[in-house]
C-alpha cells in the first residue's frame, strides 16, 4: 500500500507540473541566438502551460558553466538548458569537464538548426568554393580562415575544409562573429563559415560572397547559393543546432509534454517565419531522436577533432 501511495504521489506531481515559473539556463550572454530562439517560443509556450519562463544567463568557459549548472540542478522539471552544438557534441572532446553532457542531460527537443555558410571576402579571386579550393591548393598559397572562437562549429568547419582542400591554411580565432566579419571585409582572412544572420547585410550588399550552404537543402534566403554537395563537397555538412535539455532523471512525462508543446509550435507558420528570419530551420526532434542525433554528431566531431589535432590553448 505504501509503494502504491508513493507511486500515486509521483504521478500526481507530474500531472500538476508546472506549478511555478520554469528556468531556462542559457550558457551565453544575454541577447544571443539561444535567447532569441526561446523568446520566439516563450509567449505561446507560457499560454499553453500557464507558467512564466525565465531565461537565466550563466556565461563563461565556452558555455560549460551554464551546462554544469543544469547538470547539478534538481531533476524536477523546473530547470532546463538551452544550448547549441558545442555544449552537446564538441566541448566534451576539447575540454576536461567535470560532467558528461551525453549522460547527465536529458534532451527534450532539438529545436532548430542554422546551417553554416561558406563565405569569401570580396577581394578573393573566386566565385565558387571549388575555385577557392584550387587557389588554396596552389604551391605557396597562403590563406587564412576565421572563426568566432576556437572549438566553435565555424572553426571545425574551416578545419575540415583546410584538412582536405588547402595548403597550410591558417586559422585565426576572434572574440565573436562581428570582429570575424570585419576581418573578412578587411581581407585579413579570406574564408569563414558563419551562419546567415550575422552576414546577411554584407551578402546583400555584395561586400561578401556566399559560395555554399553547408546543408542538404538550399536556404530560401539564398536560393542561388548551392548546397555543399552541389558545390562538390558532400562531406561539408555543418550547422549550429539548438537543443533544450533537462537534468538526468527528470520525469519522462514532463520531457514528453515539453517536446509535444514545442514541436507543435515549430509547425506554426508564424513561428516558422520568425525562425527563418534569423537563419534557422525548425527541427522538432523528440527526446529519443535527439539522443541519437546528438550521439551521431558528437562522434563525427570527435573524429574531426582528432584528425585535425585541434587543441585549445
Residue 8 has pLDDT above 60, yes or no: no
- Cell 501511495 sits at which residue? 5
- Arithmetic mean of pLDDT, 156-165: 89
More confident residue, 289 or 221: 289
Distance of alpha carbon 262 from alpha carbon 286, whole angstroms: 10
**More confidently predicted of 281 and 168:** 281
Residue 267 preceded by cis peptide, ω within 30: no
Mean local confidence (pLDDT), 31-38 = 91
**Residue ranges with strand state E in 148-207:** 170-173, 191-192
Which DSSP symbol is given to 199? G
- If you average pLDDT over residues 92-101, what whole number do you get? 93
Q: Residue range 232-240: average pLDDT?
A: 94
pLDDT at residue 238 is higher than 80: yes
Helix, strand, coil % in the chain, rounded to nearest 5:
45, 20, 35
Give the end-to-end CA distance of the chain in Å, rounded to a whole number: 59
Which CATH class, in words, describes the domain spanning 117-213? alpha beta
CB 298 within 8 Å of CB 117: no
Cβ neighbours of residue 36 closer than 8 Å, sequence gap 6 or more: 278
**pLDDT mean over 273-296:** 95
What is this structure's pTM? Answer: 0.87
pLDDT at 2: 55
Q: How far is CA 138 from CA 15, 126, 168, 180, 245, in A?
A: 64, 13, 10, 25, 46
Mean pLDDT over residues 276-298, rounded?
Answer: 95
Spatial separation of the C-alpha atoms in residues 308 and 175, rounded to whole Å: 22
Q: H or E segment at 12? A: helix 2-16
H or E segment and range at residue 9: helix 2-16
Question: What is the average per-residue pLDDT within 177-195?
Answer: 95
Residue 241 has pLDDT above 50, yes or no: yes
Among 244, 234, 201, residue whose Cα is nearest residue 87: 244
| Partners of 187 in beta bridges | none
pLDDT tens-digit series, residues 44-96? 999 999 999 999 999 988 899 999 999 999 999 999 999 999 999 999 999 99
Backbone angles phi, psi at 241, to 5 degrees: -100, 160
Mean pLDDT score, 10-33? 83
Does pLDDT of 274 surpass 50? yes
DSSP assignments along 27-74, one per residue? SS-TTSHHHHHHHHHHHHHHHHHSS-EEEEE---GGGHHHHHHHHTS-
Q: How far apart are CA 244 and CA 82, in angstroms?
A: 5
Residue 104 in this model has a pLDDT that exceeds 60:
yes
Per-residue confidence (pLDDT) for residue 20, from 0 to 100: 97
pLDDT at residue 171 is higher than 70: yes
249: how many CB neighbours lie within 10 A of its CB?
A: 11
Residue 98: pLDDT above 80? yes
Structure confidence at residue 39 as a pLDDT band (50, 70, 90): very high
What is the predicted pLDDT for the residue at 11?
46
Q: What is the mean pLDDT of residues 146-167?
A: 88
**pLDDT > 70? residue 218:** yes
CA atoms of 119 and 205, how far apart (whole Å): 13
d(CA 293, CA 285): 9
Region 146-157 average pLDDT: 91
- CATH topology of 2-114+240-308 equal to that of 117-213? yes
User: Where exactly are the structural domains of the chain?
Assistant: 2-114+240-308, 117-213
Task: Evaluate whether 27 touches 64 at the Cβ level (below 8 Å).
Answer: yes
Question: Is residue 208's pLDDT more than 70?
Answer: yes
pLDDT at 12: 45
249 close to 71: Cβ distance less than 8 angstroms: no
Domain 2-114+240-308 has CATH 3.40.190.150: yes
Residues 116-138, mean pLDDT to the nearest whole number: 95
Rounded to the nearest integer, the mean pLDDT of the chain is 92
168-177 average pLDDT score: 87
User: Does 10 or 121 have the greater pLDDT score?
Assistant: 121
In this structure, the number of other CB atoms found within 10 A of the CB of residue 224 comes to 6
Share of the chain above pLDDT 70, in %: 94
In the chain, what's the furthest Cα-to-Cα distance?
A: 80
% of the chain surpassing 90 pLDDT: 79
pLDDT at 112: 97
Cβ count within 10 A of residue 129: 26
How many Å apart are CA 306 and CA 232, to the nearest integer? Answer: 24
Amino acid at each position: 500500500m505504501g509503494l502504491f501511495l508513493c507511486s500515486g504521489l509521483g504521478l500526481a506531481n507530474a500531472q500538476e507540473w508546472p506549478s511555478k515559473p520554469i528556468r531556462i539556463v542559457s550558457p551565453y550572454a544575454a541577447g544571443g541566438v539561444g535567447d532569441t530562439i526561446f523568446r520566439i517560443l516563450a509567449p505561446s509556450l507560457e499560454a499553453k502551460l500557464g507558467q512564466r519562463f525565465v531565461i537565466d544567463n550563466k556565461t563563461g568557459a565556452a558555455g560549460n558553466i551554464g551546462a554544469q549548472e543544469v547538470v547539478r540542478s534538481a531533476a524536477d522539471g523546473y530547470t532546463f538548458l538551452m544550448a547549441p552544438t558545442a555544449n552537446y557534441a564538441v566541448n566534451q572532446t576539447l575540454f576536461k569537464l567535470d560532467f558528461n553532457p551525453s549522460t547527465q542531460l536529458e534532451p527534450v527537443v532539438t529545436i532548430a538548426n542554422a546551417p553554416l555558410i561558406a563565405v569569401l571576402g570580396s577581394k578573393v579571386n573566386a566565385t565558387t568554393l571549388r575555385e577557392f579550393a584550387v587557389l588554396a591548393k596552389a604551391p605557396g598559397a597562403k590563406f587564412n580562415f576565421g572563426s568566432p572562437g576556437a572549438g566553435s562549429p565555424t572553426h571545425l568547419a574551416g578545419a575540415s575544409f583546410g584538412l582536405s582542400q588547402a595548403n597550410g591554411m591558417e586559422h585565426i580565432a576572434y572574440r565573436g562573429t562581428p570582429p570575424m566579419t570585419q576581418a573578412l571585409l578587411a581581407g585579413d582572412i579570406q574564408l569563414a563559415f558563419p551562419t546567415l544572420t550575422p552576414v546577411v547585410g554584407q551578402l546583400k550588399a555584395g561586400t561578401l560572397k556566399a559560395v555554399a550552404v553547408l546543408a542538404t537543402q538550399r536556404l530560401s534566403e539564398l536560393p542561388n547559393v548551392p548546397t555543399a554537395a552541389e558545390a562538390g563537397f558532400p562531406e561539408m555538412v555543418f550547422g549550429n543546432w539548438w537543443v533544450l535539455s533537462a537534468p538526468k532523471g527528470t520525469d519522462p512525462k514532463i520531457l514528453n509534454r515539453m517536446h509535444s508543446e514545442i514541436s507543435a509550435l515549430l509547425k506554426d507558420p508564424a513561428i516558422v517565419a520568425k525562425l527563418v528570419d534569423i537563419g534557422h530551420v525548425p527541427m522538432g526532434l523528440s527526446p529519443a531522436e535527439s539522443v541519437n542525433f546528438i550521439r551521431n554528431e558528437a562522434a563525427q566531431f570527435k573524429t574531426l577533432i582528432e584528425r585535425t589535432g585541434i587543441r585549445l590553448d
